[in-house]
Amino acid sequence: MRLFPLASLMLLSACTASRVALPPPTGEEVTVFIHGYRGSFLATADGERERAWVSVGDLLTRGERSLALPFPGQRATPGFGPLEVDGPMTRFTVLPWVARYDIYKGFLEFARERLPGLVVFDYDWRQDNRVTAKRLCALLDSLAQERGGRVKLNLVAHSMGGLVTLHCLRYGTGRTLAVVGVGHPLIKSFRIIDGKPTFEDPVLADGDGSVLTTRALPPAPLHVDRLETRADHVGMMGDEEVQEAVARFVTGD
């Protein structure tokens, strides 16, 4: 069949899991990046470390094995077994030198050079956001404790990562933070009064093409900027205008 060479080439190209090396943060300012839905690779927890998400095969078919978490009463369904997070999605290649899609690789390379003390919070996006938020709060507490409580924390969240961040801020931490949200589905501005955030203000930015930035500095109202971009929802973290806007907010320039 004529399609066989093309199909073989696509399967061989697979998904590029190129890593972005990040040095451990050493200063008193740390920037934590929280990715969005399906924003991390998933691999089997056994010794083989098979890539469950994502591969070119996921683009060609729906697959025979489910990624869904098991639930009581579920009928027998082929699956991968226990999965573990295997780093943030970086760059997806369908055909070498022909079709390449940058997810977070460009942003991570930019942030490594421009944002102070970059740390990636990667998580299993199949889990309840409230569970993930507890893990995020634990990471923030750990970063603060390692520095004797003297730390400035910047949170940069994309898409569903913004919802995880809001759960953490609302229920799990009273720390002063600078928060940058990119492409949130549902984000409200909020204030922190007496160490507790309030979420009663109207929505100021939502949906694709928006950058919502807030400074959690009580008790004054939080500062909110909005930037429109033509970048699509998934690829906006690789957009240069978005990257520069995030850097300006975090660094105060």
Packed helices 160-171 and 129-146: angle between N→C axes, nearest 10 degrees = 70
Residue 123: per-residue pLDDT: 96
d(CA 72, CA 54): 26
Residue 209 within a domain: yes
Average pLDDT of the residues in 218-243: 66
- pLDDT of 135 reads 95
Confidence of residue 67 (pLDDT cuts 50, 70, 90): confident
Q: Which of the given ranges, 2-11, 123-132, 207-216, has the highest pLDDT on average?
A: 123-132
Q: What is the mean pLDDT of the chain?
A: 74
* pLDDT tens by residue, 168-217: 887 776 666 777 777 765 444 344 444 455 544 433 333 333 343 443 33
Phi/psi-derived region of residue 45, left when phi > 0, alpha when psi is between -120 and 50, beta in every other case: alpha
Which residue type, as a one-letter code, is found at position 221? P
No. of helices (H) and no. of strands (E), the chain: 6, 14
Contacts of 109 (CB under 8 A, 6+ apart): 20
Distance in angstroms (rounded) separating the CA atoms of residues 92 and 65 = 21
Total number of domains in the chain: 1
The verdict on residue 228 lying in a domain is yes
Going by DSSP bridges, is the β-strand pair 29-34/118-121 parallel, antiparallel, or unpaired? parallel
Tokens representing 78 are: 């082929």
Q: Which of 11-20, 48-57, 159-168 has the lowest mean pLDDT?
A: 11-20
40, 41, 44, 48: CA torsion to nearest 10? -150
What is the distance between the alpha carbons of residues 245 and 242, in angstroms, rounded to a whole number? 5
Does any domain span residue 40?
A: yes
Domain interval for residue 122: 10-19+28-251
- Determine the pLDDT at residue 163: 86
Q: Residue 110: how many CA atoms within 13 Å on its side-chain side? A: 21
pLDDT score recorded for residue 253 = 66
In a domain, 91, yes or no: yes
Give the pLDDT score at 187.
45
Check which CATH number belongs to the domain holding 76 and give it. Answer: 3.40.50.1820
| 242 touches 211 (CB < 8 A) | yes
Q: Does residue 100 register a pLDDT over 60?
A: yes
Query: In this structure, is residue 5 part of a structural domain?
Result: no
Give pLDDT, residue 59.
54
**Average pLDDT of the residues in 124-149:** 92
- The pTM assigned to this predicted structure is 0.77
Task: Kindly state whether residue 113 falls inside one of the protein's structural domains.
Answer: yes
Strand-pair partners of 213: 180, 225
Largest CA distance in the chain: 69
Q: Which pLDDT score is estimated for 60? A: 53
The average pLDDT across 140-158 equals 91
Contacts of 230 (CB under 8 A, 6+ apart): 209
Residue 134 has pLDDT above 90, yes or no: yes
89 found inside a domain: yes
For position 174, what pLDDT does the model report?
Answer: 64
CA quadruple 97, 23, 248, 136: dihedral sign: positive
33-184-216 Cα angle (round to 5): 65
Q: Is pLDDT at 110 greater than 60 in this prediction?
A: yes
Checking if the pLDDT of 152 tops 70, the result is: yes
Spatial distance between the Cα atoms of 58 and 232, rounded to a whole number of angstroms: 21
Any domain includes 167: yes
